[in-house]
Amino acid sequence: MNDVPYELLHKYNVAGPRYTSYPPAPSWRDDFGPPDYEKLIAESNAAEAPAPLSLYLHLPFCEKLCFFCGCTVVITGKNHRTEEGYLALLRKEIAWLAERVDRSRPVVQLHYGGGTPTYFDPERLDRLAEALHGAFTFAPDAELGVEIDPRVTTRAHLEVLRKGGFNRLSMGVQDFDPKVQETVNRVQPYEATRDLVEAARSLGFQSVNMDLIFGLPFQTPESFRRTIDKILSIGPDRLAVYSYAHVPWMKKHQRVNEPKLPTEREKFEIFRTALSRFTESGYEYIGMDHFARPDDELARARRNRTLWRNFQGYTTKAGTDLFGLGMSSIGGIADAYVQNQRDLPAYRAAMERGGPATMRGFRLSADDRLRRVVIQNLLCHGVIVKTEIEEQFGVPFDETFGDALAKLEECREDGLVEISDREIRATSLGRIFLRNLAMPFDAYLAAASEKPMFSRTL
């Protein structure tokens, strides 16, 4: 896997979805509104065995914009005056949801994403956790995770988060090289990052994830190797090594990066450096940019085929109903998706009218459900067992997916996938190209490819 040929990297470096949902968000419908969301919640309570809950809170504020950023973010500078007002809206939305969701359904997962959740001061984060614990029933072994930015996170933040039951941290690093950091407007010293991880471990956080990005301006294989060495000296439990998604037609601020970006070949070399250094240092490649220590839950779930993918990436909590809270947040409930208003004024207006702030959504058809499971199996387990799909959905696999199988032929010839009567299995090399292997099963891609929507796969 570590010697991925450049020719293949180049050939399969095409625009495609990341499949945190199927169908991907651009195919969702604008005529799905608040009444549809209420109905969906009622249906989920009435299910024969209501699913446990997963909650996602979007805390969108950051003081400074990183020039690679692709998140839905509100940049405020040092002025935090919107902080309290936003929390009031969130508390309103928490109360709205708690009135409708059956409280006997346990919360098994909670995630704060952003923006920068630790932009909020510790006292406010404390009150937010109290509101959630007061509104819902948390399972004793619930997984509570938070994205933190070491530049603005203090020990007091970590203490308050631990008190609120948080046991997982995810932190952005991206790159430790000073020139890269300056160019992307994110100066984050190694020592401060290392000290924060040490503080988190001493406070009892069970798992620390770090995010890196390859393909940033001025990055070289050598500079990234130095970053990797520093990361290895900190030794996080999990790593996400993302390809820089350059989408200036959606994120105009990214244009400043253009003159200094590495060439495609340099970017591939950086990727190969990361892949070989991390796997040689004992991390398992999970797929889709993620690495984990072999004893980490994520690695175990991949081996046991219990891994799942949702809007935060890979998760070990399959089978939950995910409810999103906050502007732009996304939920995935049974066979439907739902998204809140994407900008702050629209979210505020909706919540001030009493909520919810639903902007769009999607109910999956029988064909969507089938394809979702096929794509998930490929992305999470690297294999589709045809008989399992046939038994679950009552369809003949080879006939149903004749088109997809024909499109996969080229991938098979390139050594990315093995196809037999029984299964479709990504090879060790093919696990680098899981997005490409999933795309033939996507019934929406042809319509979506008419205008630029997705980043490149590498």
The verdict on 440 binding ligand SF4 (CB under 6 A) reads no
Nearer to ligand SF4, 186 or 425 (CB): 186
The verdict on 216 binding ligand SF4 (CB under 6 A) reads no
Query: Shortest CA distance to 133 belongs to which of 99, 152, 110, 160?
Result: 110
The verdict on 117 binding ligand SF4 (CB under 6 A) reads no
Interface with ligand SF4 (CB under 6 A), residue from 9, 59, 62, 404: 62
Stretch that binds ligand SF4, among 112-120, 307-315, 415-423, 436-444 (CB under 6 A): 112-120
Closest CB 71 distance from ligand SF4, rounded Å: 4
Q: Where are the beta strands (DSSP E) in 278-375?
A: 284-287, 290-292, 308-310, 313-315, 321-325, 330-333, 336-340, 358-363
Stretch that binds ligand SF4, among 114-122, 262-270, 312-320, 337-345 (CB under 6 A): 114-122
The verdict on 113 binding ligand SF4 (CB under 6 A) reads no
Instruction: Return d(Cα 314, Cα 16) in angstroms, integer.
Output: 18
The verdict on 432 binding ligand SF4 (CB under 6 A) reads no
Interface with ligand SF4 (CB under 6 A), residue from 117, 172, 215, 382: 172
Tokens encoding 23? 């169908």
The verdict on 71 binding ligand SF4 (CB under 6 A) reads yes
**What is the enclosing helix (H) or strand (E) of 367?**
helix 366-381
Unique residue bearing structure tokens 């069970």? 206
The verdict on 114 binding ligand SF4 (CB under 6 A) reads yes
Whether the CB-CB separation of 364 and 335 falls below 8 Å is answered with: yes
Nearer to ligand SF4, 71 or 429 (CB): 71
Closest CB 363 distance from ligand SF4, rounded Å: 30
The verdict on 145 binding ligand SF4 (CB under 6 A) reads no
Q: Which of positions 9-28 make contact with ligand SF4 (CB under 6 A)?
A: none
Instruction: Return d(Cα 34, Cα 39) in angstroms, integer.
Output: 9
As to burial, measured by CB atoms within 10 angstroms (0-12 exposed, 13-18 middle, 19+ buried), residue 446 is exposed
Closest CB 77 distance from ligand SF4, rounded Å: 12
The verdict on 338 binding ligand SF4 (CB under 6 A) reads no
Unique residue bearing structure tokens 């994403």? 113
Whether the CB-CB separation of 197 and 208 falls below 8 Å is answered with: yes
Closest CB 172 distance from ligand SF4, rounded Å: 6
Size of the site for ligand SF4 (CB under 6 A): 11
Interface with ligand SF4 (CB under 6 A), residue from 66, 200, 380, 432: 66
* Angle, helix 366-381 to helix 386-393, in steps of 10 degrees: 150
The verdict on 116 binding ligand SF4 (CB under 6 A) reads yes
Return the exposure string of 307-343: e unless at least 16 CB atoms fall within 10 Å of the residue's CB, then b: bbbbbbbbbbbeebbbbbbbbbbbbbbeebbbbbbee
Nearer to ligand SF4, 138 or 190 (CB): 190
Query: Shortest CA distance to 283 belongs to which of 233, 315, 236?
Result: 236
The verdict on 69 binding ligand SF4 (CB under 6 A) reads yes
Closest CB 198 distance from ligand SF4, rounded Å: 21
State the amino acid at position 181 in one-letter form. Answer: Q
The verdict on 148 binding ligand SF4 (CB under 6 A) reads no
Interface with ligand SF4 (CB under 6 A), residue from 8, 9, 53, 73: 73
Closest CB 285 distance from ligand SF4, rounded Å: 24
Nearer to ligand SF4, 43 or 83 (CB): 83
Interface with ligand SF4 (CB under 6 A), residue from 149, 211, 284, 442: 149
* DSSP-assigned letter for residue 263: P
Instruction: Return d(Cα 379, Cα 384) in angstroms, integer.
Output: 10
Q: What is the CA radius of gyration of the chain?
A: 22
Query: Shortest CA distance to 101 belongs to which of 373, 304, 321, 427?
Result: 321
Interface with ligand SF4 (CB under 6 A), residue from 16, 17, 24, 115: 115
CA 151 to chain centre: 21
Stretch that binds ligand SF4, among 113-121, 158-166, 263-271, 302-310 (CB under 6 A): 113-121
Residues contributing to the site for ligand SF4 (CB under 6 A):
62, 65-66, 69, 71, 73, 114-116, 149, 172
